[in-house]
A = this chain, B = another copy of it.
Amino acid sequence: MVAAVVGLGLMGGSLALDLKDKGLADKIIGYDRNEEHKKEALHLGLVDEIVEFEEIKKADIIFLAIPVEGIIRTLPKLEDVDRKTTIVDLGSTKEKIVKECPKKIRAQFIAAHPMTGTEYSGPLAAVRGLYEDKIVVLCNTEENDKEHLQKAENIFVSIGMQIVYMDAKEHDLHAAYISHLPHAISYALANAVLKQEDPKSILILAAGGFKDMSRLAKSNPKMWCDIFKQNKNNLLTSIESFKKELRFATRLIEEEKWEELQEWMQKATTLHKIL
């Protein structure tokens, strides 16, 4: 089986490494718009060959590991692939992508969101085992051909993932709370500190807590701006829920209602009984 990976960064590059390691593809071909990334991916051995975009259509399975706006622009260019070719995207939003997918390839297009990643990007960020023991959400699979769905499921399971099925609309709301909102918060925290008079003298005190809270603010701005754009309404809803909690706590602090504040904190600690 020939696998094609479009986008040779963290997600695509790591997937390519796993496909090869697990013997899931005889050959892995890769495409990226960025010339530097092409060279790096080949040099790092992420893919066997770098090809022109048209050539990826010859693969048995095509993975789109590119920013979500790019996925929407790319799908119409794949309308003429063979009906046996499976197409899988790895984007962080699903509703708009599923909706915009051309009808002609909808049955063979698997909308997937692997819940994994790091704050780094590009081919140099690719690592083995990124997908191991992680969740992948597959959306609206009732619109897929069984054959294509099974091909994708088999690969995700083979690289160590657990599959969760979800409606794309529901996925996007949940992803807003669990991933997109935390990114927005992390960027805001980083900017709040940077705006202070002498950020260096603040940051010298940074320990594990602050490093964890600001880690997501290292994430690729272009990629995350695309995600925020596609999940605008859910993201705004989740930001409002968060702001409401922070407003509540702020009021308790202002009014020195320490017992109520402690109860509010106590409630938050229960999250980890579920998590």
Pair B178/A202 contact, Cβ less than 8 Å: yes
What is the size category of the interface that chain A forms with chain B?
35 or more
Q: Is A154 an interface residue (CB 8 A)?
A: no
Pair A258/B229 contact, Cβ less than 8 Å: yes
> Would A187 and B232 be within 8 Å (CB), given that A216-B212, A250-B239 are in contact?
no
Pair B135/A221 contact, Cβ less than 8 Å: no
Pair B164/A245 contact, Cβ less than 8 Å: no
Inter-chain CA distance A199–B267, complex, in Å, is 13
Pair A261/B225 contact, Cβ less than 8 Å: yes
Contact residues, A199-213 vs B (CB, 8 A) = 199-213
User: In the complex, which residue of chain B has the Cβ closest to the Cβ of A164?
Assistant: B204
- Contact indicator per residue, chain A 248-265, by CB within 8 Å of chain B (1) or not (0): 011001101010011111
- From DSSP, what is the main secondary structure of chain A's interface residues? helix
- Contact indicator per residue, chain A 168-210, by CB within 8 Å of chain B (1) or not (0): 0010001101110111111111111111100111111111111
Q: How many copies does the complex hold?
A: 2
User: In the complex, which residue of chain B has the Cβ closest to the Cβ of A225?
Assistant: B262
Pair B266/A207 contact, Cβ less than 8 Å: no
User: In the complex, which residue of chain B has the Cβ closest to the Cβ of A245?
Assistant: B188
Nearest CB in chain B: distance from A206 CB, A:
5
Q: Which of B182, B204, B211 contacts A210 (CB 8 A)?
A: B182
Pair A205/B243 contact, Cβ less than 8 Å: no
Question: In the complex, what residues of B have CB within 8 A of residue A246's CB?
Answer: 184-185, 188, 239, 243
User: In the complex, which residue of chain B has the Cβ closest to the Cβ of A182?
Assistant: B213
Question: In the complex, what residues of B have CB within 8 A of residue A262's CB?
Answer: 221-222, 225
Nearest CB in chain B: distance from A36 CB, A:
19
Pair B179/A207 contact, Cβ less than 8 Å: yes
Q: Is A71 an interface residue (CB 8 A)?
A: no
14 A-B residue pairs with Cβ-Cβ distance under 8 Å, sorted by A, are A116-B207, A179-B209, A182-B213, A185-B189, A189-B242, A189-B245, A214-B271, A214-B272, A217-B265, A221-B263, A221-B266, A222-B262, A225-B258, A228-B258
- Chain A residues proximal to chain B, CB less than 8 Å: 115-118, 134-135, 137, 164, 170, 174-175, 177-179, 181-196, 199-219, 221-222, 224-225, 228-229, 232, 235-236, 238-239, 241-246, 249-250, 253-254, 256, 258, 261-272, 274-275
Shortest beta-carbon contacts, A-B, top 3: A221-B265, A190-B268, A188-B245
